[in-house]
Structure 1
Amino acid sequence: MNIKEASEITKVSSDTIRYYEKIGLIPPINRTSSGIRDIDERIIGRITFVRQMRSAGMSIENLLLYIHLVDSSEDHIAEQKDLLKQQLSVMEEKRDDLQAAIDHLTWKLDHYEDHMVKAEAELTRLEKKHVQDQAID
């Protein structure tokens, strides 16, 4: 299949597939006699794997290392698991940061009348004072 068809199947843009090939995230793609990429199921599997790992937040750099370990003829299961554990830790930290932001906004909404209205009034007062002070100078 050509790159457009592969893009539709994998939900990865043609440009991204070319980039993944260029940097070695997917193996070199065979070409037809006219130079058109001829993508097979092996490449589709790799593109899908890379997309899933990127969706899990893995950086290109770590994904390149992970793919290298997978493709190695030696056993690198411990290193692969370490990379996955590191990524899990990164994602858990992001989740915790997001949850803290959600909790903060929820609190602000729950206390809008007794907190936010006063805080916003104070911001407005300070802004007006600043404008007045600037006009005097």
Structure 2
Amino acid sequence: MTIDDPLVVAEVRAAFDAYEAALMANDLDAMDALFWDSASTVRFGPGQNSFGIDAIREFRKARPGGSPQRTLLRVEITTFGPDFAIANAEFRREGADATGRQSQTWVRRPEGWRVVAAHVSLLGSGH
């Protein structure tokens, strides 16, 4: 298995960047297009757990104004073979002191790279 093939990393980074742009623009259609359209897709975030693409869509529609604006501090993408990748990012929301964390599991599907699982959290003062 080839890990971190530069061409695959570049493909995933492009998909990751497209998702980030859609998130910052609150472009629900573009965000949905980059998530796997499946009841098995999962997204965990501050204050919510969404099991299945329908729950993820409902969460996004109900969020007034979309995601808080943020700046990416670091992005690490690791690929495993040609069809599987993990993206991890650190970010800071505008006006916030806490660092946020995001992880996404990406899989190449017939329709392109899709997020099959995601987690977003804010770093607290725990141990």
- Could you state the TM-score of these two structures normalised by the residue count of structure 1? 0.22
More helix by share: 1
Relative contact order, higher structure (CA 8 A, sep 6+)? 2
Larger Rg computed on CA atoms: 1
More strand by share: 2
